[in-house]
Amino acid sequence: GENVEQHPSTLSVQEGDSAVIKCTYSDSASNYFPWYKQELGKRPQLIIDIRSNVGEKKDQRIAVTLNKTAKHFSLHITETQPEDSAVYFCAASPHNFNKFYFGSGTKLNVKP
Amino acid sequence: EAGVTQFPSHSVIEKGQTVTLRCDPISGHDNLYWYRRVMGKEIKFLLHFVKESKQDESGMPNNRFLAERTGGTYSTLKVQPAELEDSGVYFCASSPRLAGVGEQYFGPGTRLTVT
């Protein structure tokens, strides 16, 4: 089955700096890659996703890049703000399988 | 639109007891998923319903876990008898798509502690 590795497990940045979280996956059949943000005490919420026919996607301060050859994808947050502090999960979903394989999460702390 | 709801938010039980978790998906969502996160680890898939049918239960740990979705609306996940390693946060998610993959909407989770 699919295996998703996520790094780093914790990340501390100064407000205004950029943050990068990296994930790798093992199954070349995976074609959908969502990123979820879970704030303390709240539900995981989708913040951005990318499909395998696209190499990069941006939404304001967040962007995701995908390298299918290397089987890795990354989340980039620019101009970080304290409200970006949360646990971020990457996930991969193989084609025709309606389930997500998640990474182990990255706890991002943005220091004001 | 109401989101996915889960009940209870927390449950503390002793080893050997039974616990039933409930999930109410977003109205009209045919797909319902259960996931679990054990402390500090990844969110792991347990099973997937399409309406009332189990589409994929490959992630269920063992036969102490029983999931149902009678009538294709809410779902329950029963653990009987509970073991220490069952502790974790149980998430439910739902999605409207019948085919293909897209966003899954998560509930707030049920934190289960088995002592």
Q: Are A73 and A90 in contact (CB under 8 A)?
A: yes
Query: Is-contact A45 B106, C-beta < 8 A?
Result: yes
Decide if B106 touches A, using CB distance below 8 A. yes
In whole numbers, what is the pLDDT of chain B averaged over residues?
93
List B residues 25-44 in contact with A (Cβ-Cβ < 8 A).
31, 33, 35, 40-44
Least confident of A3-12, A90-99, B4-13: A90-99
Contact across the interface for B33 and A99, Cβ inside 8 Å: yes
The predicted structure's pLDDT at residue B10? 97
Per-residue pLDDT band for B92 (boundaries 50, 70, 90) equals very high
Percent of chain B whose predicted confidence (pLDDT) is above 90: 86
- The DSSP bridge pattern shows strands B5-7 and A106-111 to be unpaired
- The rounded distance, in Å, linking the Cα atoms of B91 and B77 is 11
- Report pLDDT digits (tens) over B98-108: 556 788 999 99
Comparing alpha-carbon positions, the chain A residue that sits nearest to B43 is: A102
Q: Is the pLDDT of residue B56 over 60?
A: yes
Are B101 and A32 a contacting pair at CB < 8 A? yes
Look up residue A5 and give its amino acid. Answer: E
Does the pLDDT value for residue B33 go beyond 80?
A: yes
Looking at this protein, which amino acid is placed at residue A33?
F
Nearest-Cα distance to chain A for B5, in Å, is: 10
In this prediction, residue A95 carries a pLDDT of 76
CA distance B8 to A26: 35
**Cα A102 from Cα A3, distance rounded (Å):** 8
Instruction: Tell me if B42 and A42 make a contact (CB, 8 A cut-off).
Output: no
pLDDT at B70: 86
d(CA A50, CA A33): 5
| pLDDT computed for residue B57 by the predictor | 94
**CB B33 within 8 Å of CB B23:** no
Note the pLDDT of residue B114: 98
Residue A1 has pLDDT above 90, yes or no: no
pLDDT in tens, A9-46: 999 999 999 999 999 999 999 999 999 999 999 999 99
The pLDDT assigned to A52 comes to 87
Determine whether the interchain pair A97/B41 forms a contact, defined as Cβ–Cβ distance below 8 Å.
Answer: no
Q: With 70 as the cut, is the pLDDT of residue B1 above it?
A: no
A97: contact with B, CB 8 A cutoff: yes
For an interface test with A, the pick among B41, B50, B101, B105 (most A C-beta atoms closer than 10 Å) comes out as B101
Instruction: Specify the higher pLDDT residue, A43 or B39.
Output: A43
A21 in reach of chain B (CB within 8 A) = no
pLDDT in tens, A50-86: 998 889 999 999 999 999 999 999 999 999 999 999 9
Task: Mark yes or no for CB contact B56/A97 under 8 Å.
Answer: yes
